[in-house]
Amino acid sequence: MLKVIEADAAATVTLTHRHIVLTVRPGAERAAKQALIARWYRQQVHLAMFELLPTWQSRLRVKPDGIFVRHMKTKWGSCNPRRRFIHLNTELAKKPRECLEYIVVHELTHLRVPKHGEQFISLMNRHLPNWRMSRAALNELPVRHEEWAC
């Protein structure tokens, strides 16, 4: 749950046991609050992704030329195998870590096998046996939630 605190201090986002605490100056506009939270979510995905990457790059023997975290409307991630770019959705910050790991492995696997054929599924099964559970969990959740009440 989001808790907004107005204070004469620099804008920050902190995580407590029960809340995401957004501290903003009195009278801060809604767009500024949204931008601050969006930036924080992007940072959270970056931090978690960079913890996962060394292990999975080594296991899958692949290295992308670029990894980007951005707000995506309909996908959890995408890969351009030709350019060797991976994009991850900022909304993954709101999901269990296993879901982010599944997307990272899925997109890295596309660097080896571009299509979702038998070879792709075989690699996923070998390297991340529980990937179907993570995929099912993500498929049950909305990709994003756009309503703001602050």
| Residue-level pLDDT at 148 | 46
Does the structure show a pLDDT above 80 at 118? Answer: yes
| Residue-level pLDDT at 75 | 92
Q: 25-75: per-residue pLDDT in tens?
A: 999 999 999 999 999 999 999 999 999 999 999 999 999 999 999 999 889
Q: Compute the C-alpha angle 11/14/20, nearest 5°.
A: 105
Does the structure show a pLDDT above 90 at 146? Answer: no
Domain-wise residue ranges, the chain = 2-140
Does the structure show a pLDDT above 90 at 78? Answer: yes
Does the structure show a pLDDT above 60 at 145? Answer: no
| Residue-level pLDDT at 102 | 97
**Whole-model pTM?**
0.86
| Residue-level pLDDT at 147 | 52
C-alpha distances in Å from residue 9, one per residue of 12, 20, 119 = 9, 17, 54
- Could you tell me whether strands 12-15 and 20-24 are parallel, antiparallel, or unpaired per DSSP bridges? antiparallel
Q: Are 100 and 45 in contact (CB under 8 A)?
A: yes
Residue among 109, 108, 98, 91 nearest 137 (CA): 98
| Residue-level pLDDT at 80 | 96
Q: 126-143: per-residue pLDDT in tens?
A: 999 999 999 999 988 666
CATH T-level fold of 2-140: Zincin-like (3.30.2010)
CA 68 to CA 65: how far, in whole Å? 10
Output phi, psi for 45, to 5 deg: -65, -45
Q: Which residues pair with 89 in a beta bridge?
A: 70
Q: 97-115: per-residue pLDDT in tens?
A: 999 999 999 999 999 999 9
